[in-house]
Amino acid sequence: MVPEVLRRPVLRWRGASLARRRTVRFVAVSTLAGAVAAAGAVAAAGPWEAGQRRAERIRSAAPRPAGERPEEAPAAEPVLGAPAGPQATAAGVAAVLQPLLADPALGQRHSAVVVDVASGRQLFAQDADGAYTPASTVKLATAAAALAALGPDHRIDTTVVESPEGIVLVGGGDPTLTAHSGGPWAGLPALAEATARELKARGVDHIRLAYDLSRYTGPVLHEIGPNDNLAPVTPLMTDEGRQDDSDHGPAERAGDPAAETARKFAALLTERGVRVDGEVTEGRAAGGARRLAAVSSPPLSALVERALTNSDNDIAEALARQTALAGGRPAGFEGAGQAVTARLSALGLPTGALHLADGSGLDRADRVSAGFLAQLLALAAAPGHPELRPLLTGLPVAGFSGTLRDRYPGAAARGLVRAKTGTLTGVNTLAGTVVAADGRLLAFAFLADGTRDADAAQRALDALASAVAGCGCSRAG
């Protein structure tokens, strides 16, 4: 029995011509296929579970014998392309952006650059080379340098080695090391299990424990001091020093995350039948000390994705220091800034306005240009630099993920704009990619300094990105 509310549409369908029925079916199937394709594109572009590919989660979580290196993860494949349609025009982009750049919410000083990714042409520029405080968009620079220096497959080890007095827990600089079991990240319990197994195989049931922080140099506290947005920067920590169960965003942090991690490790060893004698103290592993056990972070590509999606300051500072180590520089704030700048310059990017005081963008002394950010994003999409692809896959998606999840409500740009956000008091920035209405992939950077209303400034930046998304930029108007 057909309900009354459905009877009339059913009768109209039965009475429709064959041609009309075919047309309706075609539209319905096309719409469904489009929705499936769109969902698939978002899923394929990443990030996925905790900013990591599911295959990598399974691979990184699997236990390994002590000292065994994990197999390399495959490099990220291109996920964003540009169609071979009409080229976007400078006049087309200017027509949609110039009126919006007059919005007083952007403050008295702001910059904007748009680049056609396929051709590399700069389509729009307003103060393209000016030096601006980037806030968290500087994480794009930090991530790119780390990927260029180490490659997307690189993993960070946390190890346990022998010492004349016992064993040493050596921090390698993995801020995603967790005190919890399971999940995609390297686990302190797994490291304790492997260590206890090795010691008990030698007949050892009690040991002295020290921890080694020598991989990093310089001050552990950021210029901003103790802060809920960043733990003290040390090469040994678990769960980013968070004192709650959060995995992103502001949270109370441990005052000494390295010592806290070492004490947790001692407790885990004791639970597994190896008692730790005396106090756990800071020490240093001898050169060439024999490795007893190790756990490895997910590949660098996954760390970059998590850092960009969640605007993770702890991972960003770790990436900067890994870049310094790869370049033979001291792994502190100053050495990391120099190393990152050198890597970016080697990529051929315009670094004239670039000054990096940190890797996270929390320092107001950081400076970048909009031209630099837009060209960096275009380079990451270029065929010649597949190692930089995680810069794109890690970008938050408008209305769907990360720091853009709650922005662009109801806007046509939802799902089309992928961008890194940046916010400090008086500073609002946005840099990313967008597929314009005529199918062109465009990279953009919008920097505003001296803003008075953060919410209004964000809306103004979002309006700029939405305008580019809706632009038929191959037309000059």
User: Which residues are part of the catalytic machinery?
Assistant: 136, 139, 311
Q: How far apart are CA 306 and CA 309, in angstroms?
A: 5
Work out the angle at residue 340's Cα, subtended by the Cα atoms of residues 334 and 346, and round it to the nearest 5 degrees. 135
Give the Cα-Cα-Cα angle 341, 343, 344 (nearest 5 degrees): 65
202, burial (CB in 10 Å: exposed 0-12, middle 13-18, buried 19+): exposed
Cα 53 to Cα 50, 98, 432, distances in angstroms: 8, 40, 21
Residue whose entry in the numeric block shows the structure tokens 């639970």 = 271
Neighbours of 329 (CB within 10 A): 19
CA 293 – CA 328 distance, rounded (Å): 26
Beta bridge partners of 283: 212
- The gap between the terminal CA atoms of the chain, to the nearest Å, is 56
| Dist CA 132 CA 109 (whole Å) | 9
For 48-54, the CB contacts below 8 A with 24+ separation are 49/184, 50/183, 50/184, 50/185, 50/247, 50/306, 51/302, 51/305, 51/306, 51/309, 51/310, 51/394, 52/184, 52/298, 52/302, 52/305, 52/306, 53/302
Q: Cα separation of 220 and 105, whole Å?
A: 36
In 3D space, the residue among 340, 443, 445, 432 whose CA is nearest the CA of residue 130 turns out to be: 445
**Quick check: helix, strand or coil at residue 333?**
helix
Report whether 417 contacts 434 (CB < 8 A): yes
The set of residues, in sequence order, having a beta carbon less than 8 Å from that of 282 and lying 6+ positions away, is 210, 211, 212, 213, 258, 259
Distance in angstroms (rounded) separating the CA atoms of residues 152 and 229 = 26
d(CA 307, CA 50): 11
Query: 86 φ, ψ to 5°?
Result: -65, 145
E strand segments, 231-301: 275-276, 281-283, 291-296
Residues sharing a CB contact under 8 Å with residue 220, sequence separation 6 or more, in sequence order: 232, 233, 234
Q: How many CB atoms lie under 10 A from the CB of residue 273?
A: 12
